[in-house]
Structure 1
Amino acid sequence: MSEIMPSLFLGHGSPMNLILENSFTEALEALSKELPAPKAILVISAHWYTTQTAVSISSGIAYETLYDFYGFPPSLYELSYPSPTNNTLSKRIADLLDVPLVERGLDHGAWMPLHFLFPKANIPIIQLSLNKNLPLALHVKMGEQLKVLREEGIMIIGSGNITHNLGLVDFYNINAPAVEWAKNVDTFVDKAFTCNDTDALIRIESLCPDFKTAHPAIDHYLPLLYIAGTRKEEDEINVITPFFQNASLSMRGFMLH
């Protein structure tokens, strides 16, 4: 039998984390030494936000690295993450959810954290898109459908941010003190997730007054709902990377194992 794989939600923050050394990147590098080796990884990234739920495939032997960010130092565009494909598993996941397959590379929400967690890029990676038209409860339900994959040796990672308002980010000071509204949302989500209060996570727009400030668009919040759905009764929860960057970006993550 396969080892039951962890399920993780990770904040990924700015692409600059790829070339910086800070408490966040150091924590991911430390976590990489603790994680078991999965057969494959399914990533739900904030940066595949579209009008349907779909599963990635590739016609090549490795996924293309997508540089879906602009105006950053040239050294960022020299990095790559050529993870192998597993189109048989892609089809298995698409059948499980009854959704289509789409040819697509790995966006930075997927390969940024994997660059630290699995730097050899030798594990098959598959992405699942976020359907912007679904109500929040259905994103959780989809996570519940995916839960079985953990028993098949597949790690599930949601990649977004608990707070994400780029209009209110202090781009010039990564260590700027966290602003109050961001701390309020971070505290709400931390409590709801660790207490397994899925209803609060679904109803957050009405329960947490600062949520709409934290998420003018909801794309970076949605991956958390999938990970909430993958929770098993016997899971322990570890809080990982409980940091803020740039005054308003919560980097907090969770690991279910």
Structure 2
Amino acid sequence: MMGLTWVVALNTFREAVRDRVFYNLLLFAVLLVGTSLVIGQLVAGQDVKIIKDLGLAASLLFGVGIAIFIGIQLVAREVERRSVHATLSKPLPRPVFLLGKYVGLLLTLAVNITVMTVALYAVLLVYWRLTPAGVQAVWTAPAVDPRLLIALGLIYVELAVVTAIALLFSTYSSALLSATFTSAIWVAGHFVGDLRTLETIGASGPTVWVARAASWVLPNLALFDVKAEVVHGVPVPWGQVIGAVGYGAAYSVAMLAIAVAIFQRRDFK
């Protein structure tokens, strides 16, 4: 089974890499990281923080773009092209097919994050070399800070969750609706904490109960957001990191299980 999963994953990875959307998003992301060097120089005293902040934000936004716009096509495009009939007519279990698609996109996102990481560190290295020691003395964190890898790693976990959600919607909905639903959940997932505290701003009754119920169903994506801490040199406890990774893995598995259940019952005749 693992061999079949890996074959599907590699084929999905090749398809994603050949997709123009991947290259366009990756190019814009790298350009944004480079542009942050120019923007940072325009704001005295906050330069290195702006470069880091924009670099991490670009990694997240363009990674989400790849996860959504390529992820929703993993199944939907094959159904529309009817190529799924030929694929599933082979001795390939449907769960293995879906898992392979998911792993293939995770490989694509890993390449994206790796390129973004190299680009961000390259920009920070250049800026560090060009900055006088007196200016560096007031920085709250070094320019080439290894703790950036923590933020980038959690961004990757968040992208894995978004990919699982996109794959779930793609098993039963059109590409347009899948993109809309996944994007909405991604945005809402960053406000889960606010949904759980609506009563503090005067909300009451059914509104509070619905908001609380939604907060437990939606992914709590705020757990993966440590950009501010890393940029300002605030330590991120390893317990928090491990907890976020565990939560992301559990939520992704749950979404994949639901996707498999739906896909198993779908009739492609």
Q: Please state which structure has a larger fraction of its residues in helix.
A: 2
Structure scoring higher RCO (CA < 8 A, sep ≥ 6) equals: 1
Output the TM-score relative to the length of structure 1.
0.31
Output the TM-score relative to the length of structure 2.
0.30
Q: Which has the larger radius of gyration?
A: 2
